[in-house]
Amino acid sequence: MSNYRRNRVPGGTYFFTVNLFDRQSGLLVEHIDVLRDAIRKTRQSRPFHIDAWVVLPDHLHCIWTLPEHDADYSGRWQAIKKAFSKSIPQNEQRTAVQFKRKERGIWQRRFWEHTIISERDYAAHVDYIHFNPVKHGWVQAVRDWPYSTFHRWVERGVYPLDWAGSDKAELDTGERLD
């Protein structure tokens, strides 16, 4: 079994990418209320601050800030994935390994994490999160994707409502994040 190195900074701010096992699935948006409930329940027992989030049909990106003396984001992801998986019907295909381990065939086993290291890094990742539905072709304008924290950021005055609209071919953050 592989030993993955993770950067763990108590109270840190992290960017995550979490994928479904079946990248052709639309499960996350089909069961968005179940996902929201899994996140809400996890935050009640293991608090964290949601800085930014986007949910696409087959994967999600988010930025969290953990409590001051806490670096256990892996335990939180495990809790979210488990609560979501237990709350939806069992009709997905499973591999022999998943069947043997009594795992659902919903999530990829791992997730990608990046520790935010500066204000510029933070801003670039927030932009990346909010632009992602346009990048993947789900909408022409960021404002049209309903499963994102973009509108909260607009309300706070960080973005104009027409930020990265249909007239903007690509996001200019000065950094490549994919």
User: Phi/psi of residue 148, each to 5°?
Assistant: -155, 155
67, 47 contact by CB (below 8 A): yes
Which are the catalytic amino acids? 147
HSE of 62, CA atoms in CB hemisphere, 13 A: 22
Cα–Cα distance measured from residue 93 to residue 96, given in angstroms and rounded to the nearest whole number: 10
> How does DSSP assign 65-96, residue by residue?
E--TT---HHHHHHHHHHHHHHTS-S-S---H
32, 55 contact by CB (below 8 A): yes
99, 36 contact by CB (below 8 A): no
**Three-state DSSP class for residue 51:** strand
